[in-house]
Amino acid sequence: MTARADPECAAQLAADLNAAAAALILVLQGIEPERWTHVPGSSVWSVGKDAEHVAEAASYHQWIVRLTIGRNVSSRRPVMERKGLTTTLTAQQAIDLIRQRTEEGVALISSLDDEQLALPTRPPRAGAQMLADTIERVLIGHYDTHRRDIERKLRDGT
C-alpha cells in the first residue's frame, strides 16, 4: 500500500521553502564584503561560500524531485563545488541566485500532487523517505542549516 501525503502538503512545503529562503536572505542582507569573504579557520567556509552552496544545492535537490516524479533529467546530478572556501559571488548576487532557485523550487513543489509527494525518493535515501519528507528535511532543511551556520559565524565573529 502506498503512503499518502496530506492534501495540503504541496502548498505547505512551498510556503515553508519561501519562509526558509526569506529567513536566510534576511541574514545575508547587509553583510560587509570583508565578512562575506572571511575564512574563519582551516577548511571552514566563508559566509559567502555557505550562501553560494545553498543556491547550488537547491538545484541538486530540485533534480532529486524531478528524478523522483519521472521527469526527464540528466543522468548526472548537478555539480556542487565544495573545495573552495570562498565565492566569487557578491552578497547581492548570491541573494539573487537564492531567490531565483527558490522561485524555481516553489513552482516545482507547488505542481506536485499527493501521489507524487508519496513516492519513494530517488535516488533512494536512508529510510526510503517519501518525496514530501525529502523536500522538507533535505531541501528546506538545507536552507535552515546554512542559515544557522552563517548566523553562528556572524555572532562569533568567525
158 residues of the chain, pLDDT tens digit each:
344 445 588 999 999 999 999 999 999 998 999 999 999 988 999 999 999 999 999 999 999 999 999 998 887 777 777 788 999 999 999 999 999 999 999 999 999 999 999 999 998 776 668 999 999 999 999 999 999 999 999 998 76
Task: Provide the 3-class DSSP secondary structure of residue 130.
Answer: strand
User: Dmax of the chain from CA atoms?
Assistant: 55
Residue 17 belongs to some domain of the structure: no
pLDDT at residue 110 in the model: 95
Range of the domain at 130: 44-74+84-158
Q: Does residue 8 form part of some domain?
A: no
In a domain, 118, yes or no: yes
Does residue 28 sit within a domain?
no
Within-domain flag for 5 = no
Number of domains in the chain: 1
Assigned domain for 149 exists: yes
User: Is the CB of residue 49 less than 8 Å from the CB of residue 28?
Assistant: no
φ/ψ bin of 2: left (φ > 0), alpha (ψ from -120 to 50), beta (otherwise)? beta
- pLDDT for 129: 87
Query: Exposed (0-12), middle (13-18) or buried (19+): which is 81, by Cβ within 10 Å?
Result: exposed
State the pLDDT at residue 126.
63
Report if residue 6 sits inside a domain: no
Given this model, what pLDDT does residue 106 score? 97
pLDDT, residue 1, reads 33
Residue 67, helix vs strand vs coil:
helix
Q: Please tell me the predicted confidence (pLDDT) of residue 50.
A: 96
pTM for the whole thing?
A: 0.89
Give φ, ψ of 74 to 5 degrees. Answer: -60, 145
